[in-house]
Structure 1
Amino acid sequence: MKPVFRWLWLLIVSLVLVACSTVKTASATSQPSAKPTKKTTARGGAYFQNDGPASHIPVNLDLVPNAVPQDEPLIRAANLPYTAMGMSFRPDTSPAPYRARGKASWYGRQFHGRRTTSGERYDMFAMTAAHPTLPIPSYARVTNLDNGKSVVVRINDRGPFHRGRLLDLSYAAAHRLSFVGQGSASVLVERVWPTEGETTLTARNDAGLRQDESPKYLQLGAFNSLANAEAMLKKLVDELDKGYDDKLGIVNQQGVYRVRLGPFSSDAAVRTAAETLNVETIVMNN
């Protein structure tokens, strides 16, 4: 073989070997190693590489229910001390309360379907979040301090590894908190646990009621299955006047998922709503 062809042959083999040795991680908590692609423009900035909203957004994204806190065993491998982006983290696996304010961001289509730290596939349309140290799995209530809207999410991933970010939310959670366009928001994060009483799953925020008030609700249905409750909720949204949308929600009371309308300030207001909708008057207190 002539020297020039031998040199070209060795160069080609070397390039192939280098290409084969580069492995792109499937974890949604790690930044991809591939060279940056063209950024997608977002209001007030740009999405990282090719991240951003999905090309097709479900029409019922507003109805994605909050995560329901459950008693789940911790995943040992997901709660070990670790380092990322030059920082060291030690997950807190104790049952200690957690309450913090900071910036929340969200991650979308670039990570959709990839493995999270929990081993589950990331679903950008589910109520989940990534946090550097909260136990996996655990649950947290996230409140947008700019508009008062709240969601309950399940922590199943690690990140964001940025000193200016408190947690990464799924696209659905950020959508419900109304900051998808901005990319980030000031939030309050509070850890929550399952209770023996009830866990609120309202699809809308009950903003405007003082804590010392006793709101009333009109029960529209009760189900043993969350899926059935969600189906009724979607049917009501399609059938009722849009003025009722903000008052519709689901609550889990000791394993029974109740579809309700409210809050109302009194039993009389509940009865008036029931008469308007031509349904049985079943008053719920909280």
Structure 2
Amino acid sequence: MSELSKVAGLLTALALLSGCASSGMSKSDRYQAQRYHQADDSAPVDPVDVSQVPDAVPKYEPKSRGGNRHYTVRGKHYQVMDSAEGFSETGKASWYGNKFHGHKTSNGEIYNMYAMSAAHKHLPLPSFVKVTRLDNGKQVIVRVNDRGPFHRGRIIDLSYAAAHKLGMLKTGTAAVKIEAIAVEPPWQQPDPIMALVQQQQSEGPKLPIQVAASSQPTVATPANQTSDTNISHRNWFVQVAATQDKARADHLIQQLASLFDAQGRTVSEQKLHKIQLGPFADEQDANKLLEILKKGEFSSAFKVYH
């Protein structure tokens, strides 16, 4: 056999071996292996401060066109839930970062590891969930817009920012409880003020609530416009809700202040507008109002002291 024939035979054998190796991977697996610029996931090369990144704000969103069909990964079939309402789950959370940053998520959006997002195998996309780390009690609210994790024993993959806020970047995983936050479409949502009015009418006259500065109702003003004549020292407030719609926040606080004959204000932080009633003369007065609100449409209301 000539040297040329030997070389040709060797090349043919190598080609056959290469074909056998690649044929062991599905077309989808080969695509996934090639789409990312790094083999293993990691934190960002130049980390940024994500400690002040706000939680995702639950709001009604229709299901995305992509990512909501039943699917198969590595030969395993996964069912996608029709609704997230009432869903909760306890298990192990992990996080994903730089490898996937800038690539498409399962519903066609672009993954941003600095946003408060997550991946889940079964929840409809998008969904909102509260994630509580069980060993330290830290909580975050994230928007689910991706599929995963597909490692055994893990129930949710958090963004880099969400993992940072839960303190699990170094450990990589943590035991968590996730609870879906279902938001009804606007046309199905009851008017919260009317619900409170009906509740007050059915329960009799409203409770006398003493405010710290004045017993007269006031028009709500942004926190940065509150003067020392209104609030001269720290007091109790009741935060009723928060919204990204400034006009709705102002309208709601005026209605609530009138309904309860109390002062009110909106506190704006970045794009979020917090609706607060007060200041109150003492904590007991704040508790009275909080009890009324929680019985109505504002079950997530809470007290603040500043």
1:199-278 pair list within 5 angstroms: 220-221=223-224, 252-253=242-243, 255-256=245-246, 258-259=268-269, 267=280
Fraction of identical pairs, as percent: 37
Are positions 1:148 and 2:137 aligned together? yes
Alignment of 1:80-159 (within 5 A): 80-159=69-148
- SS at 2:51 equivalent: helix
Q: Taking structure 1 as reference, are residues 72 and 25 closer, same or farther at Cα in structure 2, changes over 3 Å only?
A: farther
Partner secondary structure for residue 168 of structure 1: strand
Deviations, residues 212-248 of structure 1 (Å, cap 9, x unaligned) = xxxxxx97459xxxxxxxxxxxxxxxxxxxxxxxxxx
| Closer, same or farther: CA 153–268 of 1 in aligned 2, 3 Å | same
2:68 paired residue number: 79
Deviations 1:65-107 (A, max 9, x none): 1112232221244111122234321111225311111111111
Superposition CA RMSD, Å: 4.1
Q: Secondary structure at the match of 1:102?
A: strand
Q: Deviations over 1:97-137 (max 9, x none)?
A: 11111111111112212221111121111111010100011
In 1, distance between residues paired with 2:110 and 2:13?
39
Instruction: Give the TM-score taking structure 2 as reference length.
Output: 0.56
User: Cα offset for 1:254?
Assistant: 6.3
- Size of the alignment, in residue pairs? 208
1:163 corresponds to 2:162: no
Structure 1: any 5+ residue segments left out of the alignment? 38-48, 199-217, 223-250, 271-283
- Partner SS, residue 131 of structure 2: strand
Higher helix residue share: 2
Of structures 1 and 2, the larger Rg is shown by 2
Contact 1:26 1:115 in 2 (8 A): no
- AA at the equivalent of 2:268: R
Distance in structure 1 (CA, Å) of the matches to 2:17 and 2:222: 66
Structure 2 alignment gaps of length 5 or more: 193-220, 226-240, 247-266, 284-301
Quote the Cα distance in structure 2 between the aligned partners of 1:57 and 1:194. 33
CA contact (8 A) 2:96 2:113 kept: yes
What CA distance in whole angstroms lies between the structure 2 residues aligned with 1:221 and 1:269? 23
Q: Does structure 1 residue 55 correspond to structure 2 residue 45?
A: yes
Residues 24-57 of structure 1: CA distance to partner in whole angstroms, max 9, x if unpaired?
8699xx6x489xx9xxxxxxxxxxx632211111
Deviates more, 1:85-94 or 1:143-152: 85-94
Q: Using a 3 Å threshold, how does the CA distance of structure 1 residues 158 and 5 change in structure 2: closer, same or farther?
A: same
**Structure with greater contact order relative to length (CA < 8 Å, sep ≥ 6):** 1
C-alpha distance 221-269 of structure 1, shift in aligned 2 (>3 A): farther
Mapped partners of 1:14, 1:163: distance in 2: 34
C-alpha contact 2:114 2:161 (8 A) present in aligned 1:
yes
Where does 1:169-208 land on structure 2 (aligned, <5 Å)? 169-194=158-183
Query: What residue is the counterpart of 2:6 in the other structure?
Result: 4
CA contact (8 A) 2:84 2:180 kept: no
| Partners of 1:132 and 1:160 within 8 A in 2 | yes
Are the aligned partners of 1:252 and 1:258 in contact in 2 as well (CA < 8 Å)?
Answer: no
Distance 1:65 1:221, change over 3 A: farther
Equivalent residue number for residue 255 of structure 2: none
1:258-279: CA deviation from partner (whole Å, max 9, x where unpaired)? 2389x9x974699xxxxxxxxx
Q: Distance in 1 between matches of 2:101 and 2:244?
A: 33
Matches of 1:165 and 1:183, distance apart in 2:
11
